[in-house]
Amino acid sequence: MTHPSDTGPAPVLALRDVSKSFGAVRALRGVSLELFPGEVHALAGENGAGKSTLIKTLAGVHRPDAGQVLLDGEPVVFHGPGDARDAGIAVIYQEPTLFPDLSIAENIFMGRQPRRALGRIDHRATHAATAALMRRLGVDLDPDRPARGLSIADQQIVEIAKALSFEARVLIMDEPTAALTGSEVARLFGVVRTLREQGAAVLFISHRLEEIFEICGRVTTLRDGAWIACEPVAGMTEDDLVRRMVGRDLDELYPKQDVTPGEIALSVRRLTREGVFTDVSFEVRRGEIVGLAGLVGAGRTEVARAVFGIDRWDAGEVSVDGRALVNGAPSTAMAAGLALVPEDRRAQGLVMDMSIERNIGLTGLRTTVKGGLMDRGAERSRSLDWAVKLQVKYARIADTVNTLSGGNQQKVVLAKWLATSPKVLIVDEPTRGIDVGTKAEVHRLLSELAADGVAVLMISSDLPEILGMADRVLVMHEGRLAAEIPRSDATEETVMAAATGRAAA
């Protein structure tokens, strides 16, 4: 077995004093990194710290302005992603891109299938090679199954198998767990451990700190493009790591205030959408934060969509402050005081090519109007007001939102909805993919809103977030509400038991 040590083997892949700028933005400033065979190495940092640029440099997408990439100790220049792949470097992205109509085996061996006479594809050999890869990963996936319908977790496994088929020695995993459920993460970590034992070097990126502590040996921290530290994970605490990333002590990640719940603000009665969710009843009171937990696909997002009117419901009723909402009509839901911060901020939350000002303005098309025309002054001051209140970091309010980091984009979505002064705020995965500093800000904001009497329904796959923020936890399992757990009884075990259907009703 090889292990990283001071005198041990050369790193399989390393960066030495690498700098990279885009225009005036210095994305990397003299960053070094060493990846040894048989180690899982974490890369930590807030959004905008330079993690993506570093990954793309290793993957041959970017060439460094200064400094070197070293492969087995020798300086190399990657002219493109193909060079890096040939050198045995593979990147597994958060959302894999497979051909949905091809089988798993065909996806893995796309363009280089084993051949028989006359150039015909040897399906049996392809199947066997794929099965061997799956065995090596310790995963049970049928090679002949089409990629369509595979969960994101399974798709990632296919990508990893594909990387192995290229004899990859270095695997870079960019937020692989962001869209996975607890058990899927556990299986992925099993695969990562197998890879480690087989001598691969793994660079692991995650915003979930507890995962870094679970799976990684060492952690390199970046802040504002600069190298901060590289140290063993053992002996560190989460607070240590956060301090390295943020550069200061973070007050508290879950600043939940105690609130006495008021009147019922949102009431959902026996809501059913055929084949999606069934007989869902709950209420959210003013001042309350109610967590909605469950596995991906349990129907949480679908309930939120129906409540807000994006999808129609087949039976049941929804009311805000006692007034029944119209089925399938978001505009009337908004008028009643309902706001929804959707799951997919790039497609659903924001018009990416529109300015910050106009994105926030979109929820005010009925209010910032004078004599039937847009009141541009009012629109601008409303947008500026909320962008400033939420401390969105931007150059100009007229910049398009796709110039912002993920965390700031999420703040724009929140600004857009808070500007409507909602009575009920539904947030779906409010902190997915955003850095720990912004995450704490979002949590503080939700807590303050609740203290001001807003009823908050928070859907999240981040269990610590649910446990840290919610007054009550609703758990969905296969389209039904499986449990309601008060804050005092909510633990990872009770919530997961209900989410996986193991709880007694």
Partner 1 sequence: MSEPGFLAHRAIRWSALRWDGAVGAVLIVLLLLSFSFVDGFGNSLNLSFLIGNTLPIALIALPMTLLVVSGEIDLSVASTAGLSGAVMGALWNQGMTIETIIPLCLLLGAVCGLINGLLVTRLGLPSLAVTIGTMAAYRGIAQIVLGSDAVTDFPTQYLDFAAGRLGDTFLPQAVLPFVVLLAIAVVVLHATPFGRSLFAIGAGEEAARFAGIRVKRQKLILFTVTGLMASLTGIFWALHYASARYDNATGLELSVIAAVLLGGIDFDGGKGTLGGAIAGVFLLGAAQNVMSLKDVSAQSQIVVTGVLLVVSVLGPRVARQISVARAGRRAAASTPTA
Examine residue 395 and tell whether it contacts partner 1 (CB under 8 A): no
Binders of partner 1: how many residues, by CB under 8 A?
A: 35
Using the rule CB under 8 A, is 340 a contact of partner 1? yes
DSSP class of 212: H
| Beta strand pairing call for 424-428 and 338-341 | parallel
Q: Do the Cβ atoms of 114 and 158 come closer than 8 Å? A: no
The Cα–Cα gap between 245 and 224 comes to 9
Question: In the bound complex, what is the minimum distance in angstroms from residue 32's beta carbon to partner 1?
Answer: 16
Q: For residue 469, what are the contacts with CB-CB under 8 A and spacing of at least 6?
A: 254, 256, 289, 291, 443, 446, 447, 458
| 188, 189, 192, 196 alpha-carbon torsion, rounded to 10° | -170
Work out the angle at residue 345's Cα, subtended by the Cα atoms of residues 255 and 266, and round it to the nearest 5 degrees.
60
Task: Report in angstroms how near the CB of residue 239 gets to partner 1 at its nearest.
Answer: 36
Alpha-carbon span 228 to 230, nearest angstrom:
7
Using CA atoms, how far apart are residues 64 and 58, in angstroms rounded to an integer? 10
**361-370 burial by CB neighbour count: b if 16+ within 10 A, else e?**
bebbeeebee
Site string for partner 1, 252-281 (x = CB under 8 A): ------------------------------
Task: Return the range that interacts with partner 1 (CB under 8 A); candidates 153-161, 213-221, 330-338, 429-437.
Answer: 330-338
Is residue 374 near partner 1 by the rule CB under 8 A? yes
For the segment 109-168, give every residue that binds partner 1 (CB under 8 A). none
Q: What does the block give as tokens for 5?
A: 């040590």
Stretch that binds partner 1, among 155-163, 185-193, 339-347, 435-443 (CB under 8 A): 339-347
From 141-149, 253-261, 274-282, 364-372, span contacting partner 1 (CB under 8 A): 364-372
Q: What is the DSSP letter of 9?
A: P
Rounded-to-integer distance, Cα 192 and Cα 47, Å: 24
| Residue in the block written with tokens 């209010």 | 367
Among the candidate windows 85-93, 291-299, 372-380, 493-501, which touches partner 1 by CB under 8 A? 372-380
Q: Are the C-beta atoms of residues 63 and 77 closer than 8 Å to each other?
A: yes
| Interface residue with partner 1, options 152, 229, 230, 310 (CB under 8 A) | 310
Using CB under 8 A as the binding rule, whether residue 351 contacts partner 1 is answered as: yes
Binding to partner 1, residues 86-115 (CB under 8 A): none
Span of 1-9, 81-89, 206-214, 333-341 interacting with partner 1 by CB under 8 A = 333-341
- Does position 285 interact with partner 1 (CB under 8 A)? The reply is no
For 25, residues 6+ apart whose C-beta sits below 8 A from its C-beta are none
Q: Which of 23, 119, 149, 235 binds partner 1 (CB under 8 A)?
A: 23
Candidates 46-54, 59-67, 101-109, 382-390; binding stretch for partner 1 (CB under 8 A): 59-67
Q: Which residue number, 19 or 494, has a Cβ lying nearer to partner 1?
A: 19
Exactly one of 1, 118, 234, 373 binds partner 1 (CB under 8 A); that residue is 373
Residue 61: both structure tokens together:
């997408």
Indicate the DSSP class of residue 326. Answer: P
Nearer to partner 1, 63 or 487 (CB): 63
**Which helix (H) or strand (E) is 188 found in, with range?**
helix 182-197
Q: Is 330 in the site for partner 1 (CB under 8 A)?
A: yes
Residues of this chain that bind partner 1 (CB under 8 A) = 19, 21-23, 63-66, 308, 310, 330-331, 333-334, 340, 342, 347-354, 358, 361-363, 365-366, 369, 372-374, 416
